[in-house]
Amino acid sequence: MNKSGVPTVTQFVLLGFPGPWKMQIILFSMILFIYILTLTGNMTIICAVKWDSRLHTPMYMLLANFSFLEIWYVTCTVPNMLVNFFSKTKTISFSGCFIQFYFFFSLGTTECFFLCVMAYDRYLAICHPLHYSSIMTGQLCAILVSLCWLIGFLGHSIPIFFISQLPFCGPNIIDHFLCDADPLMALSCAPTPIIGHIFHSVSSIIIILTMLYILGSYISVLRAVLQITSSAGQQKAFSTCGSHLVVVSLFYGTIMVMYVSPSSGNSVAVHKIITLVYSIVTPVLNPLIYSLRNRDMKFALRQILCGMRTTQTS
């Protein structure tokens, strides 16, 4: 209860995926399996980059940091979601909801900038191969990684702070599996058009600008690849960029639908499915895409597995 006597919400209810008990068990098992697979895959990439000295290059250091990001990206939502499958109340505290909201969008924004930096790295490697080592130094790589984290965590801080200051006097039921912008603002007992427009404008600007930069980088890469005379050289260049393009397509294809294109016509169920794809499914595919399409990474993973087997037999 606040000073004006109006009841204030102290916790929210995340409905998640309501349905029969058997369906809840199936969904819980699937999401738990995906979560474990995501942690295992991304941790494996981090270990491979750390232990194999041949992977101590900017490209793989960026990939290791990207995998570290993906681990935290799924961890900020999935554990709470899994607990709610067997919870009768399915509640999350007011502060817990906004902490999850902040980290979910900050890590997502950081991922956008990481994908930009990885596109820049591939642009330098293919379009300026003779100057690549002198431009993309370890120091520059560290600076770019730090900027990704810094800008990512500052990008939505002000809009999310103002959303948290809105009056919430009930109801407190969020028909989602995480604390998202639109469901939260819909529960406010005060009009929120300005804050809502600011939040979506910031999201749209970040998504569109980073996507345009990535597209511009790969247009330049495509031009450079087409000028390569040997088919072997073209194949190597395409394989180098192919993994990154697949990840970009999966990630941006879904977040564009959610935060850039008009979503008023989409049902709550569609919103949940789209959010599930880019927040849970995409992170589990990233290590598979990078490891299966990258020769150096596959070799490093085989070396790790062989080393583990040798240790177990001895």
Domains in the chain (CATH in brackets) are 11-313 (1.20.1070.10)
> How does 80-101 read in b/e, with b if 16+ C-beta sit within 10 Å?
bbbebbeeeebebebeebbbbb
The dihedrals phi and psi of 3, each to the nearest 5 degrees, come to -65, -30
Band (292; pLDDT cuts 50, 70, 90) = low
Of residues 9 and 260, more confidence is placed in 9
4 pLDDT more than 70: no
> 14-23, 169-178, 229-238: which has the minimum mean pLDDT?
229-238
Of 60-69, 125-134, 167-176, 265-274, least confident by mean pLDDT is: 265-274
| Mean of pLDDT values over 263-279 | 77
- Provide the mean pLDDT of the chain: 84
- What pLDDT, on the 0 to 100 scale, is given for residue 114? 94
Give the mean model confidence (pLDDT) for residues 114-132.
90
* Rounded distance between C-alpha atoms, residue 168 and residue 173, angstroms: 11
Mean pLDDT of 111-132: 90
pLDDT score, position 250: 81
Measured in degrees and rounded to the nearest 5, phi and psi for residue 13 equal: -110, 120
Residue 291: its pLDDT value, please? 66
57-96: per-residue pLDDT in tens? Answer: 898 899 899 999 999 999 999 999 999 998 888 999 999 9
* Residue 273 CB contacts under 8 Å (≥ 6 apart), including other chains: none
Please check the confidence at residue 180 and state whether its pLDDT lies above 70.
Answer: yes
The mean-pLDDT minimum among 8-12, 99-103, 113-117, 149-153 falls in 8-12
Torsion of CA 209, 176, 281, 273, to 10 degrees: -90
Categorize the per-residue pLDDT at 209 as very low, low, confident or very high, splitting at 50, 70 and 90: very high
Q: Is the pLDDT of residue 1 over 50?
A: no
Q: Quick count: other Cβ atoms within 10 Å of Cβ 181? A: 22
At 10, the pLDDT band (50, 70, 90 cuts) reads confident
Spatial contact of 164 and 98, defined as CB atoms under 8 Å apart: yes
265, 170 in Cβ contact below 8 A? Answer: no
Contact 300, 57 (CB under 8 A): no
pLDDT at 278: 87
Q: Does 5 have pLDDT greater than 60?
A: no
The predicted model gives 106-134 an average pLDDT of 91
Q: What is the mean pLDDT of residues 141-158?
A: 94
**Full-model pTM:** 0.87
Is residue 234 over pLDDT 80?
A: no
Mean pLDDT throughout 33-54?
89
* 118 Cβ neighbours under 8 A, 6+ residues apart: 59, 62, 63, 66, 244
Local confidence band at 304 (pLDDT 50, 70, 90 cut-offs):
low
pLDDT score recorded for residue 266: 59
